[in-house]
Amino acid sequence: MSDGFEIQYPGNALGNAAPAPVTPRDVPNRGGDQNPSGAALRQQFADAIERVDVVWGVTNVYVRPDRVLDIVRWLHDDSSQRYDYLSDVTAVEYRDLEAPIEVVWHLRSLPFRRELRLKAQLPKNKPLEIASVWSIYKCADWLERECFDMFGIRFIGHPDLRRILMWEQYREGFPLRKDFPLRGRFSRAEQLRQALAANPEARYSMEELSIADAFEDLPTDMRKRLKGGERTGE
């Protein structure tokens, strides 16, 4: 057999004396063992940490939205933290329409077997913008795109922030926002009308069409729009 990769074991930074992980029992609603990263973050970024609490056994760290990138980079790079795995990026909008939208990151440190939840609150009276962590975790690419698609949060620094689950010409808004009705904004008749009126060319984005040497076969107006820098086919 060939020389493969060296196998990496989670918990390898803990040493052999560390107890084996066990199923958590009777997890309290508030309080309990706090992830040591919470205290470390307070020390490192005293001005950027708003609150640290433990909810149902997982440590929540509320951070200032403008410092997210610094904090996540430190968590990823620092040898005492090593959060090398980003489980999830998502957002929460509360039913109280005054409450800020929260962007939530679920981080995992495989070497230390820790999990941490980072939260940043975005007030609704300002544009919903936050730094992208794509430069640190490649998996943030699609997760942030989905978050943008569903909530309209713009991730600054994301290389390709397009809609992902909804199509690019979708005009009804952001489906997971609380002001978006369950049945959609448009009536069924309007949705049908739009579907039937859609341009079949729109199945390809302009970027994709520019790859093909079918470019020359495109209608003149479309070629003109392509050269003008338009991206989608609508």
Instruction: Report the interface residues with other proteins, using CB under 8 A.
Output: 1-2, 4-11, 20-23, 25-30, 55-58, 60, 84-88, 90, 92-96, 104, 106, 110, 113, 115, 117, 137-139, 141-143, 146, 150, 163-167, 175-176, 180, 182, 204-205, 207-209, 211-214
102/92 Cα distance (integer angstroms): 5
Q: Whose Cβ is closer to other proteins: residue 47's or residue 219's?
A: 219
Radius of gyration (Cα) for the chain, nearest Å? Answer: 23
- Give the shortest CB-170-to-other proteins separation in angstroms: 10
Nearer to other proteins, 3 or 47 (CB): 3
Residue closer to other proteins, measured from CB, 66 or 211? 211
Transcribe 190-230 into DSSP letters: HHHHHHHH--GGGGS-HHHHHHSGGGGGS-HHHHHHHHTT-
Instruction: Determine how β-strand 129-131 pairs with β-strand 85-92.
Output: unpaired
Name the minimum Å distance from CB 197 to other proteins.
19
CB of 138 to other proteins, least distance (A): 5
Taking the CA atoms of 181, 185, 187 and 193 in sequence, report the sign of the dihedral they define: negative
Name 62's bridge partners.
51, 119
- Which residue number, 48 or 134, has a Cβ lying nearer to other proteins? 134
